[in-house]
């Protein structure tokens, strides 16, 4: 404590100041790291579910199960540990009478959703999905399918097999040669650590486009037929955060394999908020 001009001033010892300042920096690092670790954990959980579903449908051997082989590729591209991949495949239940169903749903703000669900109990799965939707103001609703079209999607990283950067201009040249309809930047999703590029094509030409893209030296992360929205809807920041929360909850549902939506994300609204 010091006194000057009749005023009392408290002087924080330097050692405590440094200690508190370091604690503040660590708190910020811990918060950021915690959010990233949480997103990574959710991603691995979803990939493990997809591995088990693919193995249950077509068997545990990727060489004889193309769907499983594609999911394994996605897992490796996301740096999922090999032991976790093998454990998920080995933990898949034996083939059952499970059905693959497409649920249609809507949420506030004009959000349309399509969900691939694999279940042996459709009534239970519909009930669980319905509860999640209602929690965020959404509902199961026929008609959402009309806002989407099926496309072949080949995803590649921003670096090729040699580690060189891949730009959109170079990818456009590859797309023209491969017969793809378009190529664009991958939208930033909560579970995507490094969004790359995606080539869009007709479902019937997916295999040919993938082969050509690989031959050009690009690193293919996945290739599958997906539902892409005809029109995307923009949402105010608060509504975007609720939409992210809804998608996170749906992807955490054990029976949900994939979720497709028509939301246009704004870069200013971070996924970890």
Helices (H), the chain: 14-58, 66-77, 82-90, 122-135, 168-178, 206-215, 237-251
Question: Are residues 170 and 59 part of one domain?
Answer: no
Counting the structural domains of the chain, the total is 2
Residue 18 lies in a domain: no
Asked if 251 contacts 172 with a C-beta cutoff of 8 angstroms, the reply is: no
Residue 16 lies in a domain: no
Q: Which domain holds residue 66?
A: 37-90
Residue 10 lies in a domain: no
CB count within 10 Å of CB 249 equals: 16
Find the mean pLDDT for residues 215-231: 89
What does the pLDDT look like over 79-137, one tens digit per residue?
889 888 888 888 776 665 678 899 999 999 999 999 999 888 899 999 999 999 999 99
What does the pLDDT look like over 142-154, one tens digit per residue?
999 999 999 999 9
Question: Are residues 225 and 106 part of one domain?
Answer: yes
Residue 48 lies in a domain: yes
Least reliable range by pLDDT among 56-70, 124-138, 198-212:
56-70
Q: What is the value of pTM for the model shown?
A: 0.70
pLDDT value of residue 189: 61
CATH number at residue 102: 3.30.70.980
Residue 5 lies in a domain: no
Asked if 258 contacts 116 with a C-beta cutoff of 8 angstroms, the reply is: yes
Question: Are residues 67 and 118 part of one domain?
Answer: no
Asked if 197 contacts 154 with a C-beta cutoff of 8 angstroms, the reply is: no
Question: Are residues 190 and 162 part of one domain?
Answer: yes
Short-list 139, 268, 152, CA closest to 206: 152
Question: Are residues 53 and 142 part of one domain?
Answer: no
Residue 203 lies in a domain: yes
Question: Are residues 56 and 139 part of one domain?
Answer: no
User: Tokens 């059905």 sit at which residue?
Assistant: 99
Question: Are residues 216 and 106 part of one domain?
Answer: yes
């Amino acid at each position: 404590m010091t006194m000057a001009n009749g005023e009392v001033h408290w002087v924080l010892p330097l050692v405590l100041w440094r200690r508190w300042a370091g604690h503040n920096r660590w708190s910020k690092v811990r918060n950021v790291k915690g959010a990233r670790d949480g997103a990574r954990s959710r991603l691995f959980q979803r990939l493990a579910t997809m591995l088990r579903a693919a193995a249950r449908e077509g068997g545990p051997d990727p060489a004889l199960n193309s769907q499983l082989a594609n999911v394994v590729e996605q897992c490796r591209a996301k740096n999922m540990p090999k032991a976790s991949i093998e454990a998920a495949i080995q933990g898949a239940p034996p083939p059952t009478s499970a059905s693959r169903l497409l649920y249609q749903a809507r949420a506030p703000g004009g959000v349309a959703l399509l969900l691939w669900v694999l279940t042996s109990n459709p009534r239970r799965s519909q009930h669980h999905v319905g509860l999640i939707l209602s929690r965020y103001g959404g509902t199961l609703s026929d008609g959402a399918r009309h806002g989407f079209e099926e496309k072949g999607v080949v995803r590649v990283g921003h670096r090729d097999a040699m580690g060189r950067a891949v730009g959109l201009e170079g990818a456009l040249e590859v797309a023209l040669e491969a017969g793809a309809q378009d190529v664009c930047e991958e939208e930033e999703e909560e579970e995507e650590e490094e969004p790359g590029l995606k080539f869009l094509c007709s479902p019937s030409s997916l295999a040919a486009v993938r082969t050509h893209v690989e031959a050009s030296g690009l690193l293919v992360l996945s290739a599958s037929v997906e539902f892409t929205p005809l029109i995307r809807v923009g949402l105010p920041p608060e509504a975007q955060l609720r939409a992210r929360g809804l998608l996170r909850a749906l992807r955490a549902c054990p029976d949900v394999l994939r979720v497709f939506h028509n939301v246009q994300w704004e870069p200013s609204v971070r996924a970890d908020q």
